[in-house]
Structure 1
Amino acid sequence: MSRIQLVVFDMAGTTVQDHNEVQRCFFEAADATGLKADPKKITAMMGWSKRLVFETLWQQQIGGDHPHYLHRVETSYQAFKHILENHYRTQPVLPTAGCLDVFDWLKSQDIQVALNTGFYRQVTDIILERLGWDRGLDKNYVGTTDSVIQVSVTPSEIYGNEGRPAPYMIQKAMYLLGIKDPQAVVVVGDTPSDLEAGINAHCRWSLGVTNGTHSREQLELYPNHGLLDSLSALKDKGIADPRDGFNCETPSNSNRSRPVHPLNQQSQDKIAKV
Structure 2
Amino acid sequence: MPIKLACLDLAGTTIGDIATVERAFSEAVATQGIVPGTGAYARAMVHVHRSRGCPKIEVFRGIFPGNEAQAQAANLTFERSYEGTIERTGLVPTPGVIEVLDKLRGAGISIALITGFSRSTLSRVLGVLGWEDKIDLAISPEDAGRGRPWPDMILHAVLRLGIEDVRQVAVAGDAESDMLCGRRSGASIVAGIMNGVHSRERLLKGGATHVLDSLADFPDLILAEELGAQQVAASVR
Question: Structure 2-normalised TM-score?
Answer: 0.89
Correspondent of 1:153 among 139, 143, 146: 139
Q: Secondary structure at the match of 1:212?
A: coil
Find the counterpart in structure 2 of residue 56 from structure 1. 62
Show CA shifts across 1:95-118 (max 9, x none).
Answer: 110111011111121111110000
1:202 maps to 2:194: no
Name the aligned partner's letter for residue 8 of structure 2: F
Does the Cα contact within 8 Å between 1:185 and 1:203 map onto a contact in 2? yes
Residue 30 of structure 1: how far off its partner (Å): 0.3
Runs ≥4 residues deviating over 4 A: none
Does the Cα contact within 8 Å between 1:109 and 1:240 map onto a contact in 2? no
Change (3 A) 1:240 1:111: farther
Flag structure 2 segments of 5+ consecutive residues without an equivalent: 35-39, 230-237
- Indicate the structure with greater helix content: 2
Does the Cα contact within 8 Å between 2:174 and 2:197 map onto a contact in 1? yes
Question: Structure 1-normalised TM-score?
Answer: 0.77
Name the aligned partner's letter for residue 27 of structure 1: S
Residue-pair matches, total: 222
Residue 154 of structure 1: how far off its partner (Å): 0.5
1:41 maps to 2:27: no
Cα distance in 1 between the residues matched to 2:164 and 2:59: 31
Name the aligned partner's letter for residue 32 of structure 2: T
Change (3 A) 1:238 1:148: closer
Residue 158 of structure 1: how far off its partner (Å): 2.5
Deviates more, 1:188-197 or 1:230-239: 230-239
Does the Cα contact within 8 Å between 1:209 and 1:227 map onto a contact in 2? yes
Name the aligned partner's letter for residue 9 of structure 2: D
Find the counterpart in structure 2 of residue 173 from structure 1. 157
1:4 maps to 2:10: no
Cα distance in 2 between the residues matched to 1:72 and 1:175: 35
Q: Secondary structure at the match of 1:34?
A: coil
Residue 242 of structure 1: how far off its partner (Å): 2.2
Cα distance in 1 between the residues matched to 2:223 and 2:25: 35
Cα distance in 2 between the residues matched to 1:217 and 1:189: 14
Residue 31 of structure 1: how far off its partner (Å): 1.2
Residue 28 of structure 1: how far off its partner (Å): 1.2
Find the counterpart in structure 2 of residue 99 from structure 1. 97
What does 1:181-192 align with in structure 2 at a 5 Å threshold? Answer: 181-192=165-176
Q: Secondary structure at the match of 1:220?
A: helix
Does the Cα contact within 8 Å between 1:20 and 1:213 map onto a contact in 2? no
Cα distance in 1 between the residues matched to 2:104 and 2:30: 42
Flag structure 1 segments of 5+ consecutive residues without an equivalent: 136-146, 246-274
Residue 34 of structure 1: how far off its partner (Å): 1.8
Backbone CA RMSD of aligned residues: 1.5
